[in-house]
Every structure is written in structure tokens, then in C-alpha cells.
């Protein structure tokens, strides 16, 4: 029985030693494995740096995209407003051309412009006043005594 007892004690000692080694970990790493682990660590660090850079670029691109989209929307609204204004002005121009054509036709026929009222603008009023001929002042004719010649003079000018 001493042999079996000795075997049991040895088995227990081996188990305790194996458990101690398993809990403590193995501090020996082969150099090739250490180099491979270090290379993988460096690749992970590089990948994390690249990821951070790409995320920053994505955020910047997203911000620029939003700004450009807002500007495009603003320009679209402005374009629509200008298109509407252009259509309104085009309609007004067409109406004025039609009025002018009717006025020319009426003037050619010699008939008064029926139903067409000309708008008096400040510019046309001043031009009409400027185009009026000044009233002529009748010159007084006087004869020079004894010469038989008549002389014209304007009142107020001496």
C-alpha cells in the first residue's frame, strides 16, 4: 500500500504544480511569437489612427454637404422667385407692347385713342414742359425819326 499511497501523493503534487502554473501563466513566449504579437499591436494602433482620421474626414464632408445643400436650397428659392418676377415683367412688357401697337394703329388711322389712357409719368410731364416753345414777345416797332427805317426792340431790353 505504500506504493499506491506514494502514487496518489505524486499525482496530487503534479496536479498542484500544473494548477499553479496555469493560474500564474506562462512568462515564456518564443521570440517569433513575440514579434508577431508586436506587429499585430502596431497594426491595430495604425488602424485605430486611420479610423479616427477617416471619421474626422467624414464629419467634415458631412458638414460641407449640409452647408452646400442649404446653399443650393436657398439658390433654388431665389431662382424660383426671379423666374416668377421675370414672367410677371414679361407679361407687363407684352401688355405694354400691345398698347403701343394699338396706339400706333390708332394714330395711323387718325382716330383718337379710344379706351387707351396714357399714364402721366413725372418724366413725360417735365419733357413736355421743356419741349414747349417759349412765348414770343412781340417786338415793338419804332421808327427812327427822319431815317425812314424801322427799329425792332424787345420790351425790357435796353
Grid cell of 122 as nine digits: 413725372
Name residue, grid cell 382716330.
Answer: 111
pLDDT in tens, the chain (158 residues): 577 887 788 888 888 877 776 666 666 778 888 899 999 999 999 999 999 999 999 999 999 999 999 999 999 999 999 999 999 999 999 999 999 999 999 999 885 555 555 554 455 444 444 455 445 444 445 555 555 555 555 555 44
Grid cell of 119 as nine digits: 399714364
Amino acid at each position: 500500500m505504500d506504493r499506491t499511497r506514494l502514487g496518489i501523493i505524486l499525482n496530487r503534487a503534479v496536479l498542484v504544480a500544473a494548477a499553479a502554473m496555469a493560474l500564474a501563466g506562462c512568462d515564456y513566449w518564443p521570440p517569433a511569437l513575440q514579434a508577431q504579437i508586436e506587429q499585430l499591436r502596431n497594426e491595430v494602433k495604425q488602424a485605430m489612427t486611420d479610423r479616427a482620421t477617416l471619421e474626422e474626414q467624414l464629419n467634415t464632408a458631412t458638414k460641407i454637404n449640409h452647408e452646400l445643400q442649404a446653399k443650393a436650397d436657398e439658390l433654388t428659392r431665389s431662382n424660383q422667385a426671379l423666374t416668377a418676377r421675370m414672367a410677371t415683367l414679361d407679361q407687363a412688357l407684352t401688355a405694354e407692347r400691345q398698347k403701343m401697337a394699338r396706339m400706333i394703329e390708332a394714330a395711323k388711322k387718325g382716330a383718337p385713342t379710344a379706351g387707351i389712357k396714357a399714364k402721366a409719368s413725372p418724366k413725360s410731364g417735365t419733357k413736355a414742359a421743356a419741349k414747349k416753345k417759349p412765348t414770343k414777345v412781340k417786338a415793338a416797332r419804332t421808327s427812327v425819326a427822319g431815317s425812314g427805317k424801322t427799329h425792332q426792340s424787345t420790351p425790357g431790353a435796353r
